[in-house]
Structure 1
């Protein structure tokens, strides 16, 4: 069931990625792209090592060699891209320091370079230095799949602490956004326009609530994983290259059942919850539904499910009770209610126009 659910989320997050990529939101698009990659790894691992029969397991050569090198990098990239996105939102409501700062081509290039360094800089360093603390080729855990074998020395802390650091940075930016929203409450659209931001009120609030939800999951999860691994690494010893990369021990692959490592199989759940959240925010509107339909048609699903071939207008004519459905779904529009709270001077026509924005 978990494997099927993960596969659905992989497909479901393609539209959120497309929406953020089309809106030229590099941090947001990177955030969703990394989630999709991690979900794919979880999906593959759960299929390959789905039981506790170690004797029948594949040894994971090449696949696990790649996975253990990038798993920590991907974890850091999720945190860094989320922090970068929240930082951009904090800047968008900073009218005092950025009055009418409309972005020129040179400013846009500098912003993109900064975002690239912020998001990919530390993960690239982690990728290059992972081998320094890798004391074994890898281990395999039931369901979770490939996992690191890491040395218990201080360089491990320096390399692995960064998801927690970026989560704390994200917390700082989130607090800034909340303070500035309260300061400009009732004038969100005017504030965004005055700062030269390209965000509409609804687009801004949707991204902020998404980043806020990611942060509330990331900070406790990264802190728990970090301190749990730290506790397991104690007492630490001094670092020795020859000891860490002992050629006699390096080829040895360890195998663990879910009973032997009961907590490891839950390490993949935070990214599943994040994938579900992004899908709920960007994959459940009318435009997203149409994009899913077109994607299914291109994949040939229409031969099996002819209803997919019907365009949106025809499905609307066939549907019934749309008005009643719109009435009760409007009560569930959390983003719309949040925008109204911070931007209560907007006209109703603007709210209805932004109702169907993709981003």
Structure 2
């Protein structure tokens, strides 16, 4: 790839120049082609599909005030939305026609950093809640006030506070403003110092280890209590039946199995490339344009893929039908189909500190 630095003085965008010698290795590449990459078109279509099928699950979890589940699905929706916007803004390698992304990319890269942490943090909350639902040594008919407060604090810390903290800490470890890649769009920049690993890349894998512990514990408990599964859930404070429990577990486990190798790889790559040279101040007004020759980054496809288990678990069945019915009622279809006015079951998929309060 070719990195083209763009200096921005007083907000002025200077069109970059190519170093043609760097392009000799790819003689078929036309840097001034304005043709939209096929990869960009495919990514937009699939990301829109992934976003659309994730919305029913997001609506359901928000309605039931399930912060961890809503956070997990919400970040999936966000990542696919950014896939769409970025591929539409930078669909080809003609960098002379590119928008510099100021303000938009500044916000997107911080939210994307928060999203990576928020996704694994929400998974940890989900796995913990599911494990507690099958903890036969600590079954309670109703959580105490202190338990609800602890759960609320933990959920907000892992789903909101820690992700935002990592996003803000990025200001201390970014060597330049941001990168813009063809199709993938805005990407964060990191310096290759040891403190970058400690301030950013180590935390998602640490939370993934916690997720892995709860996932293994859940598998053991599901197998151990397979004959009394439904009765244990009925006596717990989860408010879940067997079907909802397993759907939530399968969706969270699938996303986790994708998150673990990707987060571990990011940690490994940055750890092995640590340099010990002297610190240099950040070049805050430098943007780097990078043509990709029509290649779509793997993480863009991952964002599409993790929406599939969410849809398979929450996009159909009784829960999803209640969401679809509510949308049709809002659109006024009750006059045409009076049966839409019938009430549906709105019980929660997770024990919420709010909804469980008496």
Q: How does 1:5-24 map to 2 (within 5 A)?
A: 5-24=46-65
CA contact (8 A) 2:180 2:289 kept: yes
Output the CA distance in 2 between the equivalents of 1:133 and 1:22: 38
Which one has a larger percent helix, Structure 1 or Structure 2? 1
Relative contact order, higher structure (CA 8 A, sep 6+): 2
CA contact (8 A) 1:290 1:312 kept: no
| Offset at residue 170 of structure 1 (A) | 0.8
Q: Match of 2:312?
A: 280
Residue 108 of structure 2 is aligned to residue 71 of structure 1: no
Output the CA distance in 1 between the equivalents of 2:107 and 2:189: 13
Q: Per the alignment, do residues 299 and 66 of structure 1 end up closer, same or farther by CA in structure 2, a change over 3 Å counting?
A: farther
> Structure 1: which 5+ runs fail to align?
303-307, 315-352
Q: TM-score, normalised by structure 1?
A: 0.76
Q: Per the alignment, do residues 184 and 287 of structure 1 end up closer, same or farther by CA in structure 2, a change over 3 Å counting?
A: closer
> Structure 2: which 5+ runs fail to align?
1-41, 350-358
Could you tell me which of 263, 268, 286 is aligned with 1:252? Answer: 286
Question: May I ask how many residue pairs the two structures share in their alignment?
Answer: 304
Alignment root-mean-square deviation, CA: 2.9
CA contact (8 A) 2:130 2:245 kept: yes
Secondary structure in 1 matching 2:262 = helix
Q: Match of 1:343?
A: none
CA contact (8 A) 1:141 1:255 kept: yes
Q: Per the alignment, do residues 239 and 312 of structure 1 end up closer, same or farther by CA in structure 2, a change over 3 Å counting?
A: farther
Secondary structure in 1 matching 2:275 = coil
Q: TM-score, normalised by structure 2?
A: 0.76
| Offset at residue 101 of structure 1 (A) | 4.8
Output the CA distance in 2 between the equivalents of 1:358 and 1:119: 19
Which runs of structure 1 show a deviation greater than 6 angstroms over 4 or more consecutive aligned residues?
Answer: none
Q: Per the alignment, do residues 140 and 10 of structure 1 end up closer, same or farther by CA in structure 2, a change over 3 Å counting?
A: same
Output the CA distance in 1 between the equivalents of 2:189 and 2:299: 16
Residue 225 of structure 2 is aligned to residue 184 of structure 1: yes
Secondary structure in 2 matching 1:100 = coil
Output the CA distance in 2 between the equivalents of 1:114 and 1:290: 29
Q: Per the alignment, do residues 114 and 101 of structure 1 end up closer, same or farther by CA in structure 2, a change over 3 Å counting?
A: farther
Residue 189 of structure 2 is aligned to residue 149 of structure 1: yes
Q: Per the alignment, do residues 297 and 88 of structure 1 end up closer, same or farther by CA in structure 2, a change over 3 Å counting?
A: closer
Output the CA distance in 2 between the equivalents of 1:212 and 1:312: 39
